[in-house]
Amino acid sequence: MTTLSLVAGAVTGIGVFLLVLAVIPRRRSLAQQLAAFDAERAGAAARSASNVTRDAESEFSRRLGSALTAFCAEQGWQFPSLRASLSLTGKSFENYLATKALLTILGLLFAPLMLVALPAVGVKVPIVIPVLGGLIFGAIFFFLPDLELKQKAQERRRDFRHAVGAFLDLVSMNLSGGRGVPEALMTASEIGQGWAMWRIRDALANARITGLTPWQALGALGDEIKLDELRDLSAALGLVADDGAKVRESLTARAASLRRREVADLEGEAGEKSQVMLVAQMLMCAGFMLFLAYPALRILLGF
């Protein structure tokens, strides 16, 4: 038992040391922080976010993420939906894989920790219980990054839809002022602020370099982040790009449709929260009634 405890303690110590070494980010200098801020203000939101992520990662987690990414590439695993969510939230695929691996190791360390801690306090349990607990915690920790990423991606897509509605109104106003479709799209993206407008602005700016049309660039951005509104906008602009009046009418109608959808989503969320509050109030009332009835029930039942 002593040898097993020493081995479990050594494994636990090494695991905790590697976890702390990988999780604690490197401290960035003031110059690096100012450079990242200036890049963000210039409109390079996606590139700035990826650089900040690389700076915050430790060397160990970066190498681990690169190794896991290479392994996935060798196996032919692409994960298009996952990569779209990561691109939307500004996280790298390597950092995501490293986080999942390290959290899984942390959950698996539950077994040796239990083997060391319980005998030290005089509690003896079969070895199968800590091992089973480690497997359960490892599985739970393995899926924690997925839940966090899904929640953030949903919030980002909702914010992006709101920004697309405002962007369509700005494009429609620029078209009414006599600008062409490409100029109206670029001018509208330069007026708006926020990370969503920065992504649209970067996509339109890159379209000039690569030779794509602005609506093709918007469609490519919609495919990258899995946003149907941008893909539908790209298809609509490709059909009526030469007719200014039809473009204005189409964009105005799409902006109104997006606003109606946003209002409907907000009303649905408000209704869900109201139901949750109603259930919480009912549980509180039931608990209070049990509190009042307990003395009488104890006297009647004689215990």
Compute mean pLDDT per 10 residues along the chain, 303 residues long, and list them: 59 65 55 50 42 53 83 81 86 87 85 71 72 82 89 88 84 80 83 83 87 86 86 80 65 79 80 86 89 83 71
Same domain, yes or no, for 124 and 164? no
| 166/147 same-domain check | no
Same structural domain for residues 31 and 105? yes
Put residue 57 in one of left, alpha, beta given phi > 0 → left and psi -120 to 50 → alpha.
beta
Which of 131, 154, 177 is the last residue before a domain boundary?
A: 154
Q: How many CA atoms lie within 13 A of 163 on its CB side?
A: 22
Q: Is 24 part of any domain?
A: yes
Per the structure, the count of domains in the chain is 2
The Cα 184–Cα 84 span in angstroms is 27
Estimate to the nearest angstrom the gap between the alpha carbon of 156 and the chain centroid. 8
* pLDDT of amino acid 302: 72
Residue 287 lies in a domain: no
Residues 22 and 100 in one domain: yes
Question: Do 92 and 185 have their domain in common?
Answer: no
Q: What is the pLDDT of residue 47?
A: 41
- pLDDT value of residue 138: 84
3-state secondary structure the chain: CHHHHHHHHHHHHHHHHHHHHHHCCCCCCHHHHHHHHHHHHCCCHHHHHHHHHHHHCCHHHHHHHHHHHHHHHHHCCCCHHHHHHHHHHCCCHHHHHHHHHHHHHHHHCHHHHHHHHHHHCCCCCCCHHHHHHHHHHHHHHHHHHHHHHHHHHHHHHHHHHHHHHHHHHHHHHHHHCCCCHHHHHHHHHHHCCCHHHHHHHHHHHHHHHHCCCHHHHHHHHHHHHCCHHHHHHHHHHHHHCCCHHHHHHHHHHHHHHHHHHHHHHHHHHHHHHHHHHHHHHHHHHHHHHHHHHHHHHHHHHCC
pLDDT at 24: 57
Does residue 141 lie in a domain region?
Answer: yes
Do 111 and 214 share a domain, yes or no?
no
The pLDDT tens digits for 28-76 are: 555 545 554 554 444 344 444 444 444 445 677 788 888 888 888 877 7
Residues 115 and 189 occupy one common structural domain = no
- pTM for the predicted model, two decimal places: 0.63
Q: For residues 112 and 8, is the Cβ–Cβ distance under 8 A?
A: yes
Is residue 241 situated within a structural domain? yes
Closest to 79 (Cα-Cα) out of 160, 145, 161: 145
Domain that holds residue 105: 2-154
The pLDDT value recorded for residue 48 is: 42
